[in-house]
Amino acid sequence: MAEVFVRRLSRWQAEQQREAVADVYVEAYRRVPGEEPRDRRERDRQEFLETFAEDVQRPGFDMVVASGGNKPAAYAYGFVLDRAGEWWRALSGEVPWDWDIEELTVSGQVFALAGLMVLPAHRRGGVATRLVEQLLIRTDAALVAARVDPANEAAVGALRSWGWTRLGAVAPPGTVSDAPRVVSSDASSAAASDGTAATVPFTAVPVVGSGTVTDIWSRALTS
C-alpha cells in the first residue's frame, strides 16, 4: 500500500475538489464492483454533490484529504450543528456526561462528522483513523456527534475504537440514503411519550452508514 499524506482543505479548496470528492464517494460506497447499475451510481453521485454543496457552506465546515500517489485516497469532513436543531430530544436513556447537550448545541459546541470515505485499496491501514484525528484536532467544539446504523458493524467498530459512545437511538423521518454516509473498516428506536418512535430533524445529525433506524454516537472533545 502506498504511503498517504494527510492535509487540510480550505472551504474554497473543498469546493474546487467537489468532483474528485464525489468520485471517491461513489467508489467507496460501491457495493460490488461491476454489479451496481451505472444509472444508480450516477444518481448517487449527483445526490452527493447536491448535499456536499450545502454542507460546505455550513458554519464551522472543515475538511481533510489523504492522498496517495498524487491522487485522493480518502476524505473526511464535518461542520458545527445548527444551533436551532433539537436533535437531543429524541435520545433514549441518559447522556453519559454531566453536560447540557442543549446548551452545547445552542452555543455552537457540537461538531458533526458529516462525511468519511476511504477507497478500498487504502482500507485497514489506519487512514480513516488519521483523517478523523486530524479533523477533530482543529475544532473548538466540546462534542462530536454522528448517526450510525447499528447493523453497520464496520462503522460501529470504528467509532467504538475511536472512543465514541452510543447516546441512544432515533428514527429519522425519511431514508438515510439521502444523507452523507461514512464508510470505514479501520478498526431499538427511542420511544416518545405516546409510545411511537421518536424523531429528530432529518438534517440535524449526519449519518454514518445506512439504514432507516439509526443510533446517535458521540465523543467528548474536552476534558
Q: Own/partner pairs for 197-200, CB < 8 Å, 24+ apart?
A: 197/171, 198/89, 198/90, 198/92, 198/170, 198/171, 199/90, 199/170, 199/171, 199/172, 199/173, 200/85, 200/86, 200/87, 200/89, 200/90, 200/170, 200/172
Note the pLDDT of residue 10: 95
Residue 68, CB half-sphere, CA atoms under 13 Å: how many? 16
Note the pLDDT of residue 176: 38
Question: pLDDT truncated to tens, each residue of the chain (223 aa)?
Answer: 568 899 999 999 999 999 999 999 999 877 655 555 677 788 889 999 999 999 999 999 999 999 987 889 999 999 999 877 677 776 665 666 566 788 888 888 999 999 999 998 888 889 999 999 999 998 999 999 998 888 888 888 999 999 998 887 776 554 333 333 444 434 323 333 343 444 444 446 766 554 555 788 889 986 5
Q: Which three cell numbers stand for residue 44?
A: 448517487
Note the pLDDT of residue 197: 41
The beta strand positions in the chain, using DSSP E, are 5-9, 62-68, 71-80, 110-118, 143-148, 165-170, 207-208, 214-220
Main-chain phi, psi angles of 108, to 5 degrees: 70, 35
Q: What is the rounded distance in angstroms from the CA atom of residue 166 to the CA atom of residue 80?
A: 19
179: left (phi over 0), alpha (psi -120 to 50) or beta: beta
pTM attached to this predicted model: 0.80
Note the pLDDT of residue 33: 53
146-176: burial string, b at 16+ Cβ within 10 Å, e else: bbbbbebebbbebbeebebebbbbbbbeeeb
41 strand-pairing partners: none
Note the pLDDT of residue 101: 81
Main-chain phi, psi angles of 59, to 5 degrees: -60, 140
Other CB atoms within 10 A of residue 3 CB: 8
Note the pLDDT of residue 223: 52
Of 25, 117, 104, 119, nearest to 64 by C-alpha is 117
Note the pLDDT of residue 19: 96
